[in-house]
Amino acid sequence: MQRIDAALRVPLAALAIALLAMPAAAQEDAPCLMCHGEASNFKGQPDSASLVVTREMFEGSVHGEAGMPCTSCHAGLKFPHPEDPPVVNCSACHSGIAEEYEASLHGYALSRGNTASPTCIDCHGVHDILHSTDPRSKASHANTAKLCAECHSADFVRGTNGELAPPRIFEAFESSVHGLNEDHGAANCTDCHGVHDMRGHSDANSKVHRSNVAETCGACHAEVRANYEASIHGRAFEAGYSDSPTCTDCHGEHHILSHEDPDARTSDAHMALDLCADCHNDPEIIQKYGLEEGVVGSYVDSYHGWATRLDHGHVATCVSCHTAHEVLPAEDPASTVSEQNVVATCQECHPGSDRAFAESYDHISASIETNPVNRILRTIYIWLIVGVIGGMLVHNAIIMFKYLRDARRRHVSEPSFVRLTRSYILQHVVLVVSFIVLVITGFALRYIDAWWVQALASIGFDEIIRSTIHRVAGVVLIVGSIWHIIWIALYRHGRRFIRDMAPRPSDLSELATNVGYHLGVTKKPARFARFGYIEKAEYWALVWGTALMAITGIVLWFPAEAVEWAPAWIVAASQTIHFYEAWLATLAIIVWHFFFVIFHPDAYPLSFVAMDGRMSEEDARHHHPRWYEAEKEAEAVGETTV
């Protein structure tokens, strides 16, 4: 404390005379408050705000109201006192609370050296401590969540000496049914965790330990607790079956949402697949407790399940038949699905239902595995589908083969020009094979749950085989690309190919003319040379895509070596580029290339140019008139443009 000024000696002498007329407690406080009541006395000192104590502040606190003098807490201090007085020990009066605190998570953390752990003054204040029933108190029910949020939120700044940061749970609580209704008296932090005796969820004495959760929640939800404890889940949990669910297993801990909220696990949309299925679709739990198999699948594959996934308003879910909390086995006469009550349960949604209706649908009758009639019907239809659809495929394949054969004969018999050389055709074969293999083996890694990936896995297509084939196909693609570059650089046909494939300003005008012609805006179609914008766009997109896929593929193949010469982000960036470029290339082939070589009316059922490199004179004259004319002129002098 600062040394008392000489100017204060006269007022202090007058104060000493006045003290004789004051009560004993006031006499003790007067010297303290005379100094500590003036903020200017502590200007510039560290934590000066905590040293300022006005008479109004102190007398309005619980200690002031009780008539306790300053020395009740600051025991042994006399005026004037040392500048660094001893730390106040609250346990001198609050011994029981101190014992609870020391056994709590906060006390344990503090004893382990975590200076960020809260102490008495962090939650209750210093000299302005108010009763917890006072709405102005930091520890009042209305302010508890905000108080806890000082540490348990995203805004908490962890210390620099290695303390563990507390979990960020305030944001989850704030958007929960409890947080949104906190002003209306809903449960907050201390209602569930306790006040001074907060313990971890793994502590058997904790209010939020799984064995105590139902009792904790039941303090507000007494009826629900009674229903739960009477249910098969509650009885099993009480008997020590720890796999049986309790409140937090279904509703969550801090981010508890209303069952009417579509994001809640207890909502109709998530009930069967995301909540009840956690146990009733778990093979280990089914085997362990002898539960009925297939109940989740039979629901999902029913009208109720289909309509629920379509978000078709209120449709029956698990709790509609079994109730939410008082779930009982069908053998129990009190169960909503027992023989005595099942008709009434059905009538809640189907007023005209009777015993026959109730027997027409349950998990056994709806399941193909447990219902022999359904199983026989399924077998019949599987063979029927294989026979009928297979026969249709064979029939249509015969017809398609006839059209392909006739088209091939016409293609061979008609006068034609050489459009692609044999070397280019072989390069195209290498490209096609390697591309298809890369697509299959690449997407098999990303879409591991797809039916076709599962089918491959069933025949031994594991990760070692997949990755090996993918890398081999990648090397083949790169080798084919190098071959293409050499062909362009060293061979006359290659150099002519790249000249004809080079982009030109006229490509844009041909694009506009071609689109306009097919829209009926222009009367004459575009006059393409050997390659128009259609082929050029595809070729240069292929060049760009192959380069990207090769570079990113090598980075992903050798990530450790890649980060030696490139920044660390290159690996993650390569993975993103590799995946989305694969999708771009695959869709471009399907939408653009397949249209012009298969589905275009003039090419259907298939263009044979890529097989023998020849295009009929009629097709050349119709689709590439400038190239047709150049070929005719070259033919007249015994040359070729290719």
Greater confidence, 551 or 271?
551
Contacting residues for 333 by C-beta, under 8 A, at least 6 apart? 340, 341
Q: What does the pLDDT read at residue 309?
A: 80
Q: What does the pLDDT read at residue 546?
A: 97
Q: What is the mean pLDDT of the chain?
A: 89
Confidence of residue 18 (pLDDT cuts 50, 70, 90): very low
Query: What is the rounded average pLDDT of the residues 252-266?
Result: 92
Give the CA-trace dihedral at 485, 487, 489, 492, to 10 degrees: -150
Query: What is the rounded average pLDDT of the residues 312-322?
Result: 84
Confidence of residue 445 (pLDDT cuts 50, 70, 90): very high
List the one residue out of 443, 435, 478 whose CA is nearest residue 461: 443
Q: How far apart are CA 314 and CA 574, in angstroms?
A: 46
Which residue's entry shows tokens 């997407």? 443
Q: What does the pLDDT read at residue 306?
A: 84
Domains of the chain, each with CATH number or no CATH: 6-88 (no CATH), 415-636 (1.20.950.20)
What percentage of the chain reaches a pLDDT higher than 90?
63
What pairs with residue 418 in β-bridges?
614
Q: What does the pLDDT read at residue 385?
A: 96
pLDDT digits (tens, 9 = 90+) for 376-402: 888 999 999 999 999 999 999 999 999
pLDDT(285) > 80: yes
Of 41-55, 87-101, 333-347, 617-631, least confident by mean pLDDT is 41-55
* Distances from the Cα of 222 to the Cα of 141, 214, 226, 322, 560, angstroms: 21, 9, 6, 20, 59
- pTM, two decimals, is 0.71
Q: What does the pLDDT read at residue 210?
A: 93
Instruction: Write out the H or E segment, with its range, that includes residue 417.
Output: strand 416-418
pLDDT(12) > 80: no
User: Any idea what the Cα angle at residue 231 is, between residues 226 and 237, rounded to 5°?
Assistant: 95
Instruction: Write out the H or E segment, with its range, that includes residue 615.
Output: strand 614-616
Q: Is 155 left (phi over 0), alpha (psi -120 to 50) or beta?
A: alpha
Q: How far apart are CA 616 and CA 626, in angstroms?
A: 15
What percentage of the chain reaches a pLDDT higher than 70?
94
Q: How far apart are CA 370 and CA 360, in angstroms?
A: 14
Confidence of residue 7 (pLDDT cuts 50, 70, 90): very low
Of 161-170, 224-233, 339-348, 498-507, least confident by mean pLDDT is 161-170
Q: What does the pLDDT read at residue 165?
A: 75
